[in-house]
Structure 1
Amino acid sequence: MWRSLASNMLTVLAVALFLLGGVILWGQSQYTSDGPLEAAICLRVERGSNITRVSEKLEEEGAVSSAPIFRIGAKYADKTSQLKAGSYLVQPGTSMEGITDQITRGGASTCGTEVVYRVGVTRVLAEVRELDPATNRFVERAEFQPGVDETPVDYTRVRGEGDTRYRIALAEGVTSWQVVEALNALDVLDGAAGDLPAEGTLAPDSYEVRPGTPRAEVLADMVTRQQERVAAAWATRAPDAAVTTPEEMLILASIIEKETGVASERRQVASVFTNRLNRGMRLQTDPTVIYGVTEGKGVLGRGLRQSELRRATPWNTYVIEGLPPTPIANPGLASLEAAVNPDTTDFIFFVADGTGGHAFAETLAEHNANVAKWREIEAQRQNN
């Protein structure tokens, strides 16, 4: 009898082990195979949350088929204690294993709310945006000028949320003074900006920041990035470039940046200045005169006067020979590259053409005709 009982118990144990093995294999398959999610979602993991709450939220959202299996899989992978707060864009069909990796790997949030501070030539604009998971596009929630407009409720709300991302977008052509003034107006940053960076030494680009980031740290990052760009652009210079040093390249690039906002024109504009420098002609460019008036501190806000065009300043290229002593703004990478790799042309003149671009000319007669056309366009606009 005892032998029979032992045999039966062994049989039952074997069946149980077999079934347990099947359950484990099934659970592993559920954890690693494609998930049931049909449309992308933005999963927000709050600070202080735990794997149980997250798993239940995922099951409610239809991202996982079983919250317990998700928890068991995360525990088996030894990741339950590695949960990172943030907002995560979970794509359709993402497996439980893939979601676990997303929410424990950390790094920048991939969805949710973003505040972008756009530092432009004429103003600083703060935008509160939220990513729509369905379209993978940002939806604007609020927009205002820091220090000028009343602070929107949406901005105050997201500033109190731990997973909000912050980014400073620096436009090409801003001056160092404008950048420092803008950073001083942003409540997301902390500390003093320090000494005013030299003109041209800040890289127009996008910079991720966090609440409390020191202003001096942001400026140092901008300087480092511009140094890298200057070095990279200088390494690609054409043998017949008119500039002879990286510093001269930076000065010429800043003039190109202020003369045109049309990307396709940069090398043409660069060719005009290159031809003038090579022929010993004065550059005669209005943005340098404006810089001599403002020294980069704000926008002139009006046309140049004849007296200003004649006034001798270190930057007035209607008066001085060659390049001014310093850049007149912070140029972007494309303008740096154009300064040392201009188009090959015989152009020595250009004027606005009414479309946002310019009309180029090789002779004074052609240029005068282009100027006459531009004045007609201006007159028509004033009469409308």
Structure 2
Amino acid sequence: MKVLVVGGGGREHALCWKISQSPRVAELYCAPGNGGIGRIANIVEIGAEDIEGLLRFAKDRGIDLTVVGPEAPLVEGIVDAFESEGLRIFGPRKAAAEIEGSKAFAKDFMSRHGIPTAPYRTFTDPWEAMQWVRALKWPVVVKASGLAAGKGSIVCEDEEQAVQAIELIMLQKAFGEAGDQVVVEDRLWGEEASFIAFTDGETVLPMPSSQDHKPVFDGDRGPNTGGMGAYSPAPVITPELEERILREIMIPAVKGLKEEGRPYKGVLYAGLMIDEDQNPWVLEFNCRFGDPETQPLIVRMKGDIVRVMEACIEGRLKSVSLSWDPRPSVCVVMASGGYPGPYEKGKEIHGLEEAERMADVWVFHAGTSFRNGRFFTSGGRVLGVTGMGESLPEAIRRTYEAVKKIHWEGVHYRRDIGQKALKRIGAA
């Protein structure tokens, strides 16, 4: 079969890597791809949000299955467009993808269906929002309601910071139209985790837990990014808590979307806060695989991912099971200096081959280009170096050993990925 993967980041490189292992796949394409993906898939120079161009390509090439990585084309309705032409595509339709496309919708949806989330209010008037936060006496989080590449959530310690966040999002339009509406919610305290599952709209098939690291600097300091690293599994999610998350969050979400006429097929991702009493709270829902969580998850996945995706599309997920490598895995994102702010591109990357020769290490490309036999930086998040070990400390050690073999001018990465897990298991 012929498969097209839409997207060009580290998540899509990991998906291409896994899909390419399927014995059913004869031809693999990726649009727009990146320098690393070009080694395992045919690169198609069509943007991930060019739905008409992607549809035309899929029809012309006789693509049998399209897999969508990023959220933007899903929210814009790529699945609806492909299905209307009789093409098979993995991901939720536009109405279902609104659970990520609008944080205001997601919060109201959770409220309607009794899914645990922080108390909140939504605003379209910035002055009304500022008046509201000035009256509060506790920390809040101000979120752009629309898509902001994982950077539209600002934690505010006091009313002054909250007012500044509203000004940044709604008046200065830091995230464009995504900031036409904001959600202001009470700040939750605890440890964050990611819970991602396949679903065909009825059955929910969970993947192992994982934990992302959003802030750019060690110790969770600095502005939020798309994610600076991840590991799986996350010890904060115990087997008992996993059962609660399925029962109280994931299954009610899939059932509620169906009841509201928004049947959900694809991957559903809940970003969670686990409080000190081991209660799970939803920070956000995403309508796709996480990035960088996909990288440590996908190297642990056994079997044929194409088979699982087809089962989701065809509504027969209950007949499918997944098995996972029990060994922990860690992904460290190597980024351009200055990210998530302005950064320079075109820096030559050195040491890739040496890192890739290591056992149980995979280097997934995100913002890279390939010219004249050499790799160069072309984005903010450049590489996702992923390693596996018999224990979490070993996985962390191996991953950072690989990271240290790779370098370019101005490279930046966090040096504490996985430390929360070590503290929790008493191995720090």
TM-score, normalising length: structure 1:
0.23
Structure number with higher helix proportion? 1
Whose Rg is larger? 1
Q: Which gives a bigger RCO, structure 1 or 2 (Cα 8 Å, sep 6+)? A: 2
TM norm structure 2: 0.21
